[in-house]
A = this chain, B = another copy of it.
Amino acid sequence: MNFCNECGGPILFGPVDGDHAPRHVCTRCGYIHYLNPKIVCGCLAIWHDQVLLCRRAIEPRAGFWTLPAGFMENGETTLEGAVRETREEARADIEVEGLYCLFNIPHINQVYMMFKGTLIAGRHAAGDETLETGLYREDQIPWHDLAFPVVRKTLKHYFEDRITGSFPFRMIDLRHPIP
Q: How large is the interface on A (under 10, 10 to 19, 20 to 34, 35 or more residues)?
A: 35 or more
A36 beta carbon closer than 8 Å to chain B: yes
Interface residues in A43-86 by Cβ distance below 8 A to B read 71-80
Of B2, B34, B35, B76, the contact of A106 (CB 8 Å cutoff): B76
Q: Which residue of B lies closest to A98 (CB)?
A: B171
Q: Taking A79-B104, A99-B171 as contacts, is the C-beta distance between A35 and B3 under 8 angstroms?
A: no
A14 beta carbon closer than 8 Å to chain B: no
Instruction: Please indicate the chain B residues that have their CB under 8 angstroms from the CB of A107 in the complex.
Output: 75
**Nearest chain B CB to A178's CB is how many angstroms away?**
15
Q: Which residue of B lies closest to A105 (CB)?
A: B77
Of B7, B11, B38, the contact of A36 (CB 8 Å cutoff): B38
Q: Taking A2-B5, A3-B7, A7-B2 as contacts, is the C-beta distance between A77 and B36 under 8 angstroms?
A: no
Instruction: Please indicate the chain B residues that have their CB under 8 angstroms from the CB of A169 in the complex.
Output: 99, 169
A79 touches B3 (CB 8 A): no
